[in-house]
Structures are given as structure tokens and as C-alpha cells.
Chain A
């Protein structure tokens, strides 16, 4: 038999736009966005490697910009637009970054991949034709222990070309 704390712990409450969907969630107010995404919203695609803002595995897009969700209180995300790896594909189709990462071996264990994908998306959204140097800079906060990064750079560049081709075909 266990005793329980007398007060309810889930006193935090926010409404956010998660991958395009209006979402309500109640949670213990000390929780980070990372914890609320994974534990209270069932979005386990976003990972954690240190929970201290060191490894970059928890990056998500808040208002389109990459942030480390382990350093951000969920309470700070009320009314914000949050995008995670679960929101990258659309209409049953993978995002060109996902396709390129899959095709070129840019994901090995895959654990750092969700954060790298959203970080790369933020880069390409802001700069559709980044140089290799710019890609290296943009991803420098995301540690990957498997790949040696080369295939990741190549996949971002390949995605850049595929997006350009899609846009050309669409226009």
C-alpha cells in the first residue's frame, strides 16, 4: 500500500499547436517540453541523450526555430507552434529530408536522427541552398556517434536538390 502526495501534481496546462494540430495537455509544471512531448503527449520520436542541453538529440522546432526541448519548460510553450519528427511527413509522403536520409545511409542507430532532421528542415526552410560549411554549422549542436557526419551532410544536400526539383515540377 502506498501513500500519495496530497496535492494533484498535474497543475500545468497549455494549449499548443503540435505538428499542425491544436493540442491540450495537463502535466506537472516542472516538466520540460521534452518530457511533456514524450510522456504526456505520446510523441516519443523526440529523443534525449543528456537532458542538459549538451547532445542536441531533443531538438524540436518551436515557431519554426530549432530549440533544445530538454531546456525549455513546457509551460513556456503555451500557444506556440511546435514541430517534431512526427510532423515531417505529410499526405502519407515522407519529407525529402527523410527520403534522402533513408536512401543515403544518414541514419545508423537513428537515435540522433529526429533532431537532426528537424534542425536540417529549419535550415532549408530559411536557406534553400546552403553550402556544405553552412550545413556543418547548422548541425554542429547535434552530436552523432555513428556516422562521422559525412552521409548526413550528403543527405541534406540531396534533400536540397530534391526539394528544388519538386518545386520546379510544381511551378
Chain B
């Protein structure tokens, strides 16, 4: 790794390598692809939230002028799903629809409008079933079952884990706090609607371009459903017009256009309408949470018991992982010596929930940070001081066996306390104005892949050209976060080149080695480390050849300014292109590979696959609010945020990730919600989406966005490339609880629910005025039949990472057992 002082690319704010394409409109998103003879596809979606399909008759649609084909479930019978344990989706439903918007048939036609018209000519006979609207209803109604798998009835997954004797920890506490919170679901709302184009290649193989974050997982799903050898399928992830987790599952429309292209032997395109994007969803799970936390008088936590009840929607998606994530990261911010987590995900007849920025950890982070604010108040400790007192430190293993690398949470807190002038503001601002503080941690890449395997999580191939050209091949997917720029920046730094000298071939399953995808904040650390290794290997070969020519030791060879030179005598130099020629003459054609596999986790218990990460990012934020005591209207004038990023590879982009997270968090805090309503009885009582449009699904505009003051804490993490940790998800997490805590500081009411709307504030203010508890939030947590907890003694109680009441694992984990994996 080059000496830090000499770095020319890393750590410098610079134009991203794909910026020119983006500002000239030349970036080719999936729907920008137009091919000769291309046909258009439209999906017929269920109008019922829950029904049996009795009959589908496509005769009239087939006869419609301009229609090439009509597909139904018979054409794509094989089930698939992102997790091996949840293979519960069919590209077109054959006999059972589970939410409004579930696709039942597809039309392919010469014109898009023709396909759309023909949808009306498909005759589907449904037999409506009772709808399950929410988790409480799901718990109370085992029948009708939405799926014939899962734990029982409409319970998809229940987990119960205990790290140390939590009851005893409550007995040892000076105070025990119990709070219930609700986090409403919301959706990603990328501006680009999902689109895909498939083609049968000249040699009979399949190519699909799609706005997907996970081309490798789509590749696997296509091979399964189409029953084709993976080598005959090429998936090209086009640059995504925003993803945020919403394009991480294999989707029905992708499989349908692939099948149609093979059947028709012509290119087939689909672009979803905005309404359909709402039905694809995979967004934030609505979660009801109960926190029970024991503390000493000085704020030291003795133990915590967290229960989560999760509304999964109609399919599994990432849900098993999401369930574990609602309890996995509680221990990563503050020292919690004993911890019990119970989570339950139910199926409901709504679009499936899945991973949205912060996947599963956002909801309990809200509860935990608001409860801490209440604890601080009760103990008369400043919330910042309380957090500084209990914050985790570097190089520790948590109660649930997550290994923390660098932890700079305390510095994050100190920075925002200073920049926001917290000490002059907290509990000191005039009525109606307040500040709130919250913190968070997030994964820098999931420690385990979605399907069990021992292979690398990311691979990079670099090809060196005689003219000095360097081409980087990697499966990593550009979704706007700057994935291509990370690769180019790292390779350019190592080889002494300009990032614009590098050519990138990414997101293509044919060209590049596998990268698992743009999710779990994994690209910088995993593709970045793979790129670093490949670049270092190429550098070593070139250095050896140049050293031989110069007659010096290879250690003396340096790379900078597109030259390769002898560090002892810098005037002795060759151009980079000449250096590659020397290397090629010496070794043959120059191409190098790099790969990255995360370190093994000490969490060996069942379910321990969700939560481990090579390292975690840390964030602290202060939000200032102004709340109208009459209308409850909230405005946010300013937000201060400090993020422990390890190192910002390109600070301009890293800042964009942080501020984009703040923006999205503020949207969730104040307005974004995925709500459903029942139609009146005469209209079937179906459960329909309240806001399947961008106009009604409110998101912050340029007028709503406050000033954000962003600071980075840069202590290079030994596990990150050049020390880098993630920046794209963690900074979202503290925003919602910081807003809630600020609202309390401003008007003295607790809103234990997200979003925090004026209506809820007015209701809570009315409670306050009436002398009742000044609060708006859920009143109870329903009974769940929890399974017996897996008991894992924490490290400080002699635990070895395994459950004492589970079948011990001998050596390697079996594939069967390890299907429960992370995302």
C-alpha cells in the first residue's frame, strides 16, 4: 500500500469516473436500451389481495392485433426467491395470488400500448380468500395460510436467542425501562422504475439487461427457473437509477421477459409503471418493538430484552435475514453485557417487504435510541454524556459474538456535540424548538453470502494493455453509490495512474468475476479489497520487470504520475506503458486477479450468520426541530452528523452518501409511509395500497431539506481498502430517533412511532394537556408463542460462540444448517 503522504487519488475529492456520462444523459439505464425487432411486455396483476385463481383464459388477448404472446404461470412454473430458505415466488402466479399487484399473466406485443390493451382481454376467474392485513391478524388467524411453508399458520419465522441471563441482569439493575415502539413501513422510491430487456443471442444463449443491484443472484434465479446452464445466461446490470435495496431481489418481470425472448426469438423489454414499482416494494418492514432495558444509576446497561413483531408482506424475500437483523446490531453501539432477542415475522396480504437502506436494523435502532433518551432523562444524565459513558470501544467482541474492529463512536458524539452547540441548546431552547441526539452502527458488508458457499464474495480481474491501458473487470454493480469510482480510484492509486485512465467493465456476469452485489454496504470493502489485491499483483510483476531493466531491487520501484521509476534515482524512469511492455516481454500477457472473502466470524450459533461484518461504521447525529404547539407542524432547520468512515476514498462522494442517507432518514422520520386501507364492503373489502403514486407517497423536496453539516472521523480500519468503511447506510439510522428526541426537547411529548407526523404530535399534546402520559405510540405488544431460546453465553461468561442447548457443530457448518444467511 502506498505511503499515505504520497497518495494522489485516495482521500482527494474528485470528479467520479462516470460523472461525464451522467451529466450528458449518456448513462444507459435499462429502459434506454432499444434493439431492432424489440417487443414490449406488460404484466397483468391481481386486483385481489388474496385469492385462488380458478381459471385464466388468454384466447381473446392472443387474438388482439399486434400481440405476439401471452404467458401464464404454466410457462414459468418453477419457484424461486432470493434466500434458499424462501423459494416461494413464481414469476406468474399459477393458482394463488397473495397481494394486490401479484402478476398472473404477461402480454408481449409489438407496441407497449398494444400489450397494455391486451391485458384487459385476459379473462381471469378468482375465488377471493380472506385477507390478512397485519401481524396481529396473522398471529390470530392461522387460516387461510398465505404460504404452505414457514413456522406455522401465517408465521413465517420466529427466532429466540439469549446471550447471558437477562432476567438476572434486570434484578441487578437500579432501574428497568419498558417501552413499545412502532416503525411504519416505507419504500425505496428510486426515481428509475425497474426495467429489463432480454434477448436470445445469435448463438442461442440468453442475455438480459436489467436495473438490478444483484446480477449474480438474478443469474442464479434465471438458471433455476428457465432450467438453463448458468453459462448460457448473461446478466448485465445496467447502472441503476437509484436502488436503496429495492432492486436486490430477482423480480417476476425479469424472468418473464427472459422467457418471452427465448420463446419469441426477439428482444423483449419491460418497464414497470410507478404503480407497479410500489407493488414490487421489498421495502422497510413495519415493525412493532418492545424494549426492556436494565440500567445502573450511572447509565451502565445491565441487560436488554428486545422483541420484534414484523409485517413481512406476501413473500419471504430477504425476510428471514431481516428478522435476525431486527435484533443483530443492538449490541454494536453500546456495551450490553446480557441480551435476549426474540423476533417474529408474519406473512400478510401486502406487497412483500425486504431490504431497504439499513435493512432491518433501522427500526430497532429507532426504539433503542429513543429509549436511551428516556433513560437519560430519568437518570438526569445528559443524553450525549450517557452515550459516551456506555459506547463500545475498538477491538471488542459483543455479547452476541460480533467482532468490532475500529469503533470511533465516542469521537462521533463529541464532534456533533461541539458542531451543533449541543450544550448551549439541549433543554435550553425556547418552547417549540428543540435538539435531539442519536447514534448508530452499520455493517461494512455482510459477513456471509446469501447462499452457503466457501468462495470469495468479490473478485476483480485487471487486464494490462501494451499501450498502458488498464481494464478492470468486476461483477460490482453501479447503483449511483460510486461503485465504479471505488474500483478505478483504488487501481489508479496503486498503479500511479489517473482514475480516468482506467476502463471499467462492471455488473456483467459474462465479463467480470463474481461480486455478490450492491447491498449491505459491501462494495467498497469487498470489491475494493479485491481490486487492491489484483492491482498490487500487477504492480509487483511490472515492478520486477522494470527493476530488472534498471538493475535494482524491485522494492525500489515506484509508480506515480503515469511513470514507473527507481525511488533512489527518480530520473531513472519509464512510462507506465513502457513498463507494461517490459512486464509482458518478461512474463507473457499481463492479467491479474484479486479476490476477497470476509474473515470468519466467532458467532457460531444458529442465526449467527446475520450480523457479522468485517467492520462496522459508526455515526452520531444531532437534529434541530421547530414544532408548532398548535398544529404540530415540524420543520427541521439543521442537522449535524459525524460519521466514522475509516477513510473517505473520495470525500465528495462519501459526503453525498452521508447526506443522501440523512435525506432519506428525514423522509422516513417525517412523512414517508407505505399505508394500506380496506375497500368498502361493496367493493370486496380488498386491502389496497393507499398511495401507489409519487404524488401521494410524500418524500422530501429541495424545499424540505435542511442544511446538513457533515464531518468524517478518519481512523483507517485495518480491514478496509486504504482503511475505508461504509458510508451509504449507517448515516440514515440516527436521523429518525434524533428527530423524535428533538420533538420531545421542543414540546415535551414522546412520539414512539415513525413517521412523526403533525397529527401525532397534536394528539400527544392533547394528552399532555389533559394530564395524561404525553405520548403517542403503541400501547401493547401482542402475545407470541416464542420458541425456546438458543442460549449462548457471552464471551465474558466463558462462551465459545455456540449455543449450549443446540446440537454442537462439528467442524464445518453443514449446508443444510447454514441456509439462514445474511444480506
Contacts and interface: CB of A to CB of B under 8 A. Distances in A.
Interface of A: 2-6, 9, 28, 30, 38-39, 42, 44-52, 54-55, 57, 84-86, 88-89, 94, 97-99, 101-105, 107-114, 117, 135-137, 139-153
Given A94-B24, A143-B694, A108 B702 contact: no
Given A49-B192, A101-B19, 20 more contacts: A6-B65, A45-B24, A45-B25, A52-B695, A55-B191, A55-B274, A55-B694, A103-B19, A105-B655, A110-B241, A111-B480, A137-B703, A143-B694, A146-B656, A146-B660, A148-B662, A149-B705, A151-B652, A151-B655, A153-B702
Interface string B16-37: 1011111111111101101000
B195 to A, nearest CB: 10
A48 B742 CA distance: 37
Interface of A is mostly: loop
Contacts of A139: 702
Nearest to B664: A145
Given A47-B29, A49-B191, A140-B701, A109 B479 contact: yes
A152 B702 contact: yes
Contacts of A109: 22, 190-192, 239-243, 479-480
B708 A110 contact: no
A28 to B, nearest CB: 8
A110 B480 contact: yes
B480 A148 contact: no
A102 B22 contact: yes
B659 interface: yes
Given A49-B694, A57-B191, A145-B664, A113 B708 contact: no
A6 B705 CA distance: 53
B273 interface: yes
Interface in B700-714: 701-703, 705, 707-708
Given A4-B65, A107-B19, A109-B240, A49 B113 contact: no
B477 to A, nearest CB: 12
Contact of B16 (A45, A98, A105, A150): A105
Contacts, number: 193
Q: Which of B20, B28, B66, B660 has its CB near the most chain A CB atoms (within 10 A)? A: B660
A109 B67 CA distance: 35
A54 B705 contact: no
Nearest to A133: B703
B705 A48 contact: no
Nearest to B109: A2
A151 B243 CA distance: 19
Nearest to A111: B241
Contacts of B13: 105
B506 to A, nearest CB: 15
- Nearest 7 interchain pairs by C-beta: A45-B25, A109-B480, A111-B241, A110-B22, A148-B663, A102-B19, A85-B25
Contacts of B240: 109
B65 A148 contact: no
Contacts of A54: 274, 693-695
Given A45-B26, A52-B694, A54-B695, A108 B480 contact: yes
A144 B694 CA distance: 12
A130 B699 CA distance: 25
B193 interface: yes
B556 interface: no
Q: Which of B65, B189, B656 has its CB near the most chain A CB atoms (within 10 A)? A: B656
Contacts of B481: 108
B126 interface: no
B241 A149 contact: no
B25 A112 contact: no
Contact of A107 (B22, B66, B193, B693): B22
B656 A151 contact: yes
B707 A150 contact: yes
Contacts of B663: 145, 147-149
B192 A111 contact: yes
A38 B39 CA distance: 16
A140 B702 contact: yes
A21 B13 CA distance: 38
Contacts of A97: 23
Nearest to B662: A148
21 contacts: A3-B63, A5-B114, A44-B32, A49-B694, A54-B693, A85-B23, A85-B24, A86-B24, A97-B23, A98-B23, A105-B653, A107-B22, A108-B480, A109-B243, A117-B23, A139-B702, A143-B701, A147-B656, A147-B659, A148-B661, A148-B663
Contact of A30 (B15, B27, B113, B659): B113
Contact of A39 (B34, B66, B191, B702): B34
A47 B26 CA distance: 11
A117 to B, nearest CB: 7
Contact of B23 (A30, A113, A149): A113
Contacts of B480: 108-111, 146
